Chains A and B, each alone.
Chain A
Amino acid sequence: MSVFPECKKMKRTGFFPALLLGGLFSAMVPVLNMAFRSELYTGQGKPPVRILLDANWQMMAMLNILLVLVGTCILYHTEYENHAIGKMAALPIRRGRLFVDKFLLMAAACIVILALEAAAVGFCSFRWFPLPEGFHGLILELLQNFGYFLLLMMPAMLLSLFIASVCENMWISLGIGVICVFTATMLPSGNFAWSLFPYALLFQIPKSLPAHTAGKLLLAVPIEIGAIGIAGALFANIRRRFT
């Protein structure tokens, strides 16, 4: 397994504790929101998970995207600092492999973050709402929603990782990422084509969308993942010609 050395590289950069803290911070959003103004939400008469996500997901998604941005920048920053990437290129590993490994590590970190958030949303539904469909219904609902979120997060992950792999200087990859996130917040809502922008995907809740739109969205996302993923892995092979 070549993901393991990637974990080792990240050990002293604070990657894991930072993302864990970020995940906890974003998991606190619905809990605090409910703790302070639960009366706003308990009377809405919709499924609890849906109420909670409608109320809090925008902010949580923003935090998640920013975490992905910082995480991917650090993943490649360790390579470019002191020219470690030259040493990696000397090893008998295929070059695209590094990109794939880093993506797998980032995806694993994101699963942990999303699990923390799902637990927080689950806790809020359990604590403040009656559960008409019981405990199993709640778990199923959470799994479905956060499974979608993981899928919607992946294009942003891949694109940030791709940008980080292209730019040697961290402020450039971070700056481009910040501009992209900002663009995502400025895009008009309700336009399907714009909503496919990788950084804007996560701000949507597929289960709150009309079934037709959600279906199209979930069809388009794997295509995006494939395209950006292949581009990122292939770029590693021709990177030397540009830098």
Chain B
Amino acid sequence: MKFFTLVGVEFRKIRRSRIQILLFLGTVILWLPSVIHADMNFKMQAEGISPENNFFIQGFMGMAAFLFPASMVVCTVLLQQTERNHHGILKMLSLPVCPAKLCFAKFTVLLSLAAAQILMTVGMYGVSAGIASRTQDYNFLLPLSYVFKQAGSILLASIPMLTFFWLLSVWIRTPIFSIGFGLASIVPSVLMINTKVWFVYPMAYPFFVIVSEYGKLATRLSTAPIKWVPWLPVAAGITIICLLLSCFRFGQVERG
């Protein structure tokens, strides 16, 4: 089977999972307080950030710190459970498909779900910035090219984290451990971004990227800039190792 056929099959499996609703609901709740408390953006002069930038960055920081990583853990649960219910994985493995390919197809679906949630966040940002502009009589909407650039960099930065979550869900077969470990690993990322070794902790990447952008926008606030040299090789290494390990392990228990 071709790789894209496999990805299509995986998408069909989760078509009626209602995961889209869950991802969307998260983004609605993310932007709701920003619209209600839109006037707070004018009181951020101490940091030296303009109201429209503050509106944008606060929402995206909230997303990258908890909502997005936690939603991705939920997505890994979905991708694993659809196979384990009624031994669906046995049927998939009986097809003439390389298990590693199957695993990578599933990871591609996870990646697209991540992209979908980020896209929803951008969409809701547009809606809520529009509403806030009306209520506050001030233009909160930033240029779309800038917003998409930031959203894209969050997505790129989240790839190592996604491979790690995927590794957890493939290797740890007791769901409580894979979910618990995934969720618990998100919590310290707020601390990790303030340390010198943040680049070894993939769960902190998306948050680090957006916090670093916050430092650029706010003139009176300094945050750690992105240092490409240790980060890029480490991130690439984590991604490749996690993907290789999970493709190696995928379906191994069922194959016996």
Q: Could you list which residues of chain A lie within 8 angstroms of chain B, going by C-beta atoms?
A: 13-15, 18, 21-22, 25, 59, 62-63, 66-67, 69-71, 73-74, 77, 81, 169-172, 174-176, 178-179, 181-183, 185-188
Contacts and interface: CB of A to CB of B under 8 A. Distances in A.
Interface in B67-111: 67, 70-71, 73-75, 77-78, 81, 85
Interface of A is mostly: helix
B71 A178 contact: yes
A176 B183 CA distance: 14
Contact of B67 (A70, A182, A187): A182
B187 A179 contact: no
A67 B180 contact: yes
A13 B179 CA distance: 12
A183 B31 CA distance: 11
B184 A22 contact: yes
A222 B79 CA distance: 38
Given A77-B175, A188-B33, A171 B66 contact: no
Given A22-B184, A66-B180, A182-B66, A170 B175 contact: yes
A18 B180 CA distance: 7
Interface stretch (B15-23, B151-159, B239-247): B15-23
Contacts of B74: 171, 174-175, 178
In the complex, which of the residues A13, A21, A73, A174 has the most CB atoms of chain B within 10 Å of its own CB atom? A174
B100 to A, nearest CB: 24
B125 to A, nearest CB: 15
Interface residues of B, number: 35
Contacts of B77: 170-171, 174
Contacts, number: 95
A14 B33 CA distance: 38
Contacts of A67: 180, 184
Contacts of B17: 169, 171
Nearest to B72: A178
Nearest to A16: B176
Contacts of B179: 70, 73, 174
Contact of B177 (A18, A172, A182, A188): A18
A107 to B, nearest CB: 17
B201 to A, nearest CB: 15
B19 A175 contact: yes
B81 A62 contact: no
Nearest to A15: B176
Given A63-B184, A174-B179, A169 B81 contact: yes
Nearest to B22: A175
Interface of B: 17-19, 22, 25-26, 29-30, 32-33, 37, 62, 66-67, 70-71, 73-75, 77-78, 81, 85, 174-177, 179-180, 183-184, 187-188, 190-191
Given A66-B183, A182-B67, A182-B70, A172 B18 contact: yes
B183 A179 contact: no
Given A175-B19, A175-B71, A14 B174 contact: yes
Nearest to B14: A171
Given A18-B177, A63-B184, A171-B78, 15 more contacts: A22-B184, A59-B187, A59-B188, A59-B191, A63-B187, A66-B180, A69-B183, A174-B74, A175-B71, A175-B74, A178-B70, A182-B29, A182-B30, A182-B70, A188-B37
A14 B187 CA distance: 21
Given A22-B180, A172-B22, A186 B174 contact: no
A66 B33 contact: no
B190 to A, nearest CB: 8
Nearest to B174: A14
Nearest to B70: A178
A185 B22 CA distance: 17
A13 B174 contact: yes
Contact of A70 (B32, B37, B81, B176): B176
Contacts of B174: 13-14, 18
A169 B75 CA distance: 12
A81 B174 CA distance: 13
A25 B184 contact: yes
B68 to A, nearest CB: 10
B39 to A, nearest CB: 13
Contacts of A18: 174, 176-177, 180
Contacts of A69: 183
A95 to B, nearest CB: 24
A66 B187 contact: yes
Contacts of B81: 169-171
